[in-house]
Structure 1
Amino acid sequence: MVGIRQHKTLINTWCLIEMVGIRYHKTHISTRCKWSIRVVVVVIPEMENRLRTAENQVKLLKAENQERKVVFSVTLGVGGYYGPTSTTLVYKDILTNIGNHYNPTNGHFTAPVRGVYYFRIALFGIVERNSGIHCNLRTNGNITLKAGLWEYIAKSQHHVANAASLLLEQGDVVDVQLGGTTIYDDSHKRNTFSGFLLFPV
């Protein structure tokens, strides 16, 4: 009888251990399932949102970087004497025009963004034909600065230049106006108009 009782007690103990193990296993499986569901429902959408945000930021940075690539350098592209005239100089020979903000059909540079830009103009002339050489750098039709030579020696050659850093608004137009005098150019590209964006503001 004692042996039978011990055997039944042992069986009950093993059954209890197995039941506890099954409950633990079920609890463990349930916990893992809950975590997996949370990953699918919460974590993955959060990661997708972060990825979309990062992609949008990259696109924005690329667009801003593209806007900052503004450089041009142009020459007249004509040989011989040019002038006398007081019209806008149209530089048709393009050396560089990154961003395509200089227009070779009308001689205008249009600022793509608000920022500080650097401009330089250079003129060459044989002053025997007039009283000197000079031109105006204009912003929206208003004279910003001048470059020129007003005193001269007859039949002398002169090269004049000027430069400035300007704060421009988006859409501002910058060009060069010849100051009623005559300039000279040849294959050496002596008359130039250049500019680039230093930084946006």
Structure 2
Amino acid sequence: MLNVWVIPADEVLSPNINLLEELEKLTTMEKRMESMENEMERLKIENKAPKVAFSASLLSSFGPQSVGPFHNGLHTLIYEYVFLNIGDAYDPNTGIFTAPVRGAYAFRVFSKAFGNPKRAVTAGLFKNDQHIISTHGHQASGFISSSNGVSLLLEEGDQMKVKLYPGQWIFDDGEHHHSTFSGHLLFPM
């Protein structure tokens, strides 16, 4: 005996799976995956960017000590005690930071000195020997402190240093690290 089933035509022509809906879902997933792959590549490149940060204090030896005054022009300060020097862009032998890559950098200078009616603490941050910012403080007695900071676009090889102005002085103590010079790469350009 032969069994025959009757299947209505609308069931054959419209299956339970909507192919257009499924194709749209696949297309959406493909776009999301492509976006995630692009983001992953961007993060890989960002992670390969150089890491640059330094922070140093004027003196490495214990005990209070003043540096200066110098009377023969500007004097480059050498920050001897290095807290951090990621990327080795700061040279503690010369006091000079050299930008390893083109990018935006942030710098901070903190200066301290004994008060003196005839003498102040005035130190300037210089980019390639061009004055950018200064710290300045003056009072007759006690301690004086001054600080300043700036963000700059540097080209690879640009040099940053702190210079003490003629007739001025600066104080530090290798134990407490009152006078510091710090900088870091914000992002490469």
TM-score by structure 2 length? Answer: 0.69
Deviation at 1:185, TM superposition (A): 1.2
Query: CA distance change for structure 1 residues 89 and 67 in 2, over 3 Å: closer, same or farther?
Result: farther
Partner of 2:127: 139
SS in 1 for 2:100: coil
Q: CA deviation at 1:67?
A: 4.0
1:193 and 1:66 map into 2 onto residues whose CA distance is: 26
In the alignment, is residue 196 of structure 1 matched against residue 188 of structure 2? no
Give the superposition deviation at 1:130: 3.7
Displacement of 1:131 in angstroms is: 2.5
Aligned to 1:82, which of 51, 67, 73? 67
Higher helix share: 1
Q: Any unmatched runs of 5+ in structure 1? A: 1-57
Q: Confirm or deny: 8 A CA contact 2:89 2:99 kept in the other structure.
A: yes
Task: Tell me which residue corresponds to 1:73.
Answer: 55
Answer yes or no: is the 8 Å Cα contact 2:119–2:169 preserved in 1.
no
In the alignment, what sits opposite 1:31?
Answer: none
Within the candidate set 66, 84, 108, 1:120 is matched to: 108
Following superposition, the deviation at residue 162 of structure 1 comes to 0.1
Within 1, Cα distance between the matches of 2:47 and 2:185? 12
Could you tell me which residue of structure 1 aligns to residue 170 of structure 2? Answer: 183
Taking only aligned residues, the RMSD between alpha carbons, in angstroms, comes to 2.2
Structure 2 Cα separation of the partners of residues 169 and 144 of structure 1: 15
CA distance in 2 between partners of 1:196 and 1:130 (Å): 35
- Structure 2 partner of 1:9: none
Question: CA contact under 8 A between 1:110 and 1:171: conserved in structure 2?
Answer: yes
Q: If you compute each CA radius of gyration, which structure gives the higher value, 1 or 2?
A: 1
CA distance in 1 between counterparts of 2:165 and 2:118 reads 11
- Work out which structure has the larger RCO, using CA pairs closer than 8 Å and 6 or more positions apart in sequence: 2
Q: Is the 8 A contact 1:135 1:178 kept in 2?
A: yes
TM-score (norm 1): 0.65
Query: 4+ runs of 1 displaced by more than 6 Å?
Result: none
CA–CA distance in structure 2, aligned partners of residues 194 and 91 of structure 1: 10
Q: Matched residues, percent identical? A: 38
Which range moved further: 190-199 or 67-76? 67-76
| Superposition deviation, residue 116 in structure 1 | 0.4
Amino acid at match of 1:126: F
Number of aligned residue pairs: give it.
Answer: 142
SS in 1 for 2:169: strand
Letter of the aligned partner of 2:145 in structure 1? H
